[in-house]
Amino acid sequence: MSWPNRALSYLEVKPSLLLVLGALGCCYFLQFGCLRGLLATAFIAFSLLLHELGHVLVALAHGVKVKRIGFAAAGGYTVREFSGRRWVEAQSAAAGPLVNLLLFLLFSLAGGPVAYALAKANLVLGIGNLIPFPRSDGGRLWKAIFSPSDAVGAAVPVQAPVQAKSHVVEAAGIGRKIPPNA
């Protein structure tokens, strides 16, 4: 599925994402019931979109052309031109995880078991995406900050938090009950 947009070439949603969200939805359904489980799953999907939009907004603010945003079972990704500037690459890489950490704070303040689960999922997404794995936001951030200046140009222009979905499923608290006072 793709939707044309003037700022982006398109938004791409691979069917494999729906399988992962379905599995996550089942976990939330068992934990919170039908309506709240569906709502929690929708907020996780929205959190992933906001994460990618964080990358896009920083890129566009610096005049970097964004070609597409996509979502698959492995996580979200943004395909864009390479800026050629370390600071822009570092800001762009950090923007997505920063969005997740801000969502963690917002959901933490909201209170309640669903908000607690969403806060935890966003915390795992934010911190997990800062770990410097290859092709992750953390890997791109590390490369932008610590690589010799000529090596930064070799950075992969695709922002793909490869481990994102496994973090979401892990943060869903499968089989765990949220304390009633949480």
For the stretch 108-124, pLDDT in tens is 999 899 999 999 999 99
The string of pLDDT tens digits covering residues 146-166 is 987 644 544 444 444 444 444
**Alpha-helix runs per DSSP H in 33-69:** 34-61
Domain limits, the chain: 2-171
Q: Give pLDDT, residue 138.
A: 95
Q: Give pLDDT, residue 147.
A: 82
Parts of the chain with a pLDDT under 70:
1-9, 149-182
Q: Give pLDDT, residue 161.
A: 44
pTM: 0.78
Q: What is the DSSP string of 86-114?
A: HHHHHHHHHHHHHHHHHHHHHHHHH-SHH
Dihedral angle over CA of 50, 7, 88, 159, nearest 10: 50
Q: Give pLDDT, residue 160.
A: 43
Q: Give pLDDT, residue 149.
A: 64
**Alpha-helix runs per DSSP H in 134-173:** 137-146, 149-152, 164-171
